[in-house]
Amino acid sequence: MSTGHAILNGYCGVTLLLLPCITLAAPASLQYQYGEQVFRMESQKSWQETNEVPTYRGREIRLEPGEALPSGVVMEEASTWSKSKIASTLDRLIGDALNREAGSVRIFRNANGDIAFEGVGLNGRKLDLDRAAELTLFALKENVPIIQLPVTITEPNIVVDDPQLKAMGITELVTIGESDYAGSPKDRVHNIAVGLARFHGQMIPKGEEFSFGKILGPVNAQTGYLPELTILGERTLPEFGGGLCQVSTTAYRGAWRAGLPITARRNHSYAVRYYSPAGTDATVYPPWTDMRFMNDTEGALLIQTHHADEKAYFIYYGTKPLRSTELVGPFTWDPIAPPPDRIEYTDELPPGESRVVSKPVPGMKAMWYRIITEDEEEQEPEEFASFYEARPYFEEIGALLPLPGIVKTPERNVIRLSENATITLLRRNGRTGPRIRIRR
């Protein structure tokens, strides 16, 4: 989306609105948003139906229910948008992903004096289909591409049995961060679970700064992690703890949604599908890259982590601040195509072996705005910018180094490395790839 688009976040009733007759103008695509969750879809022909509508001089007019036809107004057959068909699509494509029942949790101390949880304190969510369909109708007719979803929230049942926790302000649900890691390989799923467990039951005292890296601690085999893909400069290679950015992103989203001051956050160097939509991620690489925020609420914050159905959750309990937060985005621009394929020779691999260290990814810039309203006063929107590099297809080939000067041979698609080694470029699935031949 570009930064000039209107955003629809309320219902506007129009009584005598002239609309185009027959031709249905609509935005090319619609973006539905709930917090940082974004759902995109094209306006669909299946939403249209043929009805008789009141028209005046060839243009549709909207009348109040039961109002008599004014002079000059006639009924004509025209294509119109069907509210019921739109609602059905929204229920299937958005409601199924968004709706959930409210949870229940008991927070107490176990026999060892440690904080324990019985149940999960997720709030309930229900998409208001009728209002969402009304907003869609208005967006289609007025060419508004962004719609803030109307969602009814049901608070979870929370019982805090420990007097000390109550005295610290742990009384209610403050915010939830969530992310989807569907399709992750098993070692990545393992690392996410290990990382989430590290934050389960952690407390953030009032007025103190949360540091993801400080609580996370060492990341190695001894702390339970497995090697999995991690962004290491220009390359993406297996390293212990690959996937922990799923955990930091989940923690960040909860703090971001609650309006907590974000003191350190950096996006990944390139856009990763697990952290969609763009601009909602927070990468970590201890001790150099951290994610931090301040607890500026009236009490401590207690963290419960949870994972189910390939989704991760950070649930923050405490005393909810008297403010509302709206997230608007992502607005993306400057799309950059992946650079040309890249091949490099290395002695880190046996001669003739190869590995893909980067897959082609387009680059872009993304912006979100966070609007906080406190004491009925809307603050200046905060900007959260992200810059994602374009990455090429990058393959490393094992070779005997140091290589002499690479010389093109008269043979087509052959590069001579030395008297005894040549590289033959082949087409594989539409992509040029090398095959190394070394004579001994």
Q: Give the pLDDT confidence score for residue 5 in this predicted structure.
A: 39
Rounded Cα gap, residues 303 and 294, in angstroms = 14
Phi, psi of 97 (to 5 degrees): -85, -30
Which residue do the tokens 């742990």 mark? 170
Single out the residue of 376, 270, 368 nearest to residue 327, CA to CA: 368
Name residues whose C-beta falls within 8 Å of residue 88's C-beta, 6 or more positions apart in sequence: none
pLDDT at 8 over 90: no
Mean pLDDT, residues 14-27: 43
Give every strand in the sheet of 104-109, ordered side by side.
115-120, 104-109, 157-160
Name residues whose C-beta falls within 8 Å of residue 124's C-beta, 6 or more positions apart in sequence: 100, 101, 102, 103, 153, 154, 155, 156
Beta-sheet pairing, 104-109 with 157-160: parallel
pLDDT at 439 over 60: no
Rounded Cα gap, residues 12 and 287, in angstroms = 50
120-124, 189-193, 354-358 — which is least confidently predicted?
354-358
Mean pLDDT, residues 181-195: 97
**Per-residue model confidence as pLDDT tens digits over 109-122:** 999 999 999 999 99
Q: Distance of alpha carbon 124 from its chain centroid, rounded? A: 20
44-58, 259-273, 325-339 — which is least confidently predicted?
44-58
Single out the residue of 104, 99, 98, 101 nearest to residue 156, CA to CA: 104
pLDDT at 92 over 60: yes
pLDDT at 311 over 50: yes
Rounded Cα gap, residues 91 and 216, in angstroms = 39
Tokens encoding 182: 């569907």
Residues in the chain: 440
Q: Are 356 and 397 in contact (CB under 8 A)?
A: no
Phi, psi of 20 (to 5 degrees): -60, 140
pLDDT at 19 over 50: no
Q: Give me the residues paired with residue 380 across strands.
A: none
pLDDT at 435 over 50: no
Per-residue pLDDT band for 75 (boundaries 50, 70, 90) equals: confident
Mean pLDDT, residues 81-98: 94
> Mean pLDDT score of the chain, rounded to an integer?
86
Per-residue pLDDT band for 289 (boundaries 50, 70, 90) equals: very high
Q: Give the pLDDT confidence score for residue 28 in this predicted structure.
A: 66
pLDDT at 177 over 50: yes
Looking at per-residue pLDDT, the higher value among 426 and 322 belongs to 322
**Per-residue model confidence as pLDDT tens digits over 44-59:** 888 888 778 788 887 7
CA angle 164–166–170, rounded 5-degree value = 120
Looking at per-residue pLDDT, the higher value among 57 and 22 belongs to 57
**Per-residue model confidence as pLDDT tens digits over 224-252:** 999 999 999 999 999 999 999 999 999 99
Which residue do the tokens 């309990």 mark? 317
pLDDT at 191 over 80: yes
pLDDT at 42 over 90: no
Q: Give me the residues paired with residue 324 across strands.
A: 373
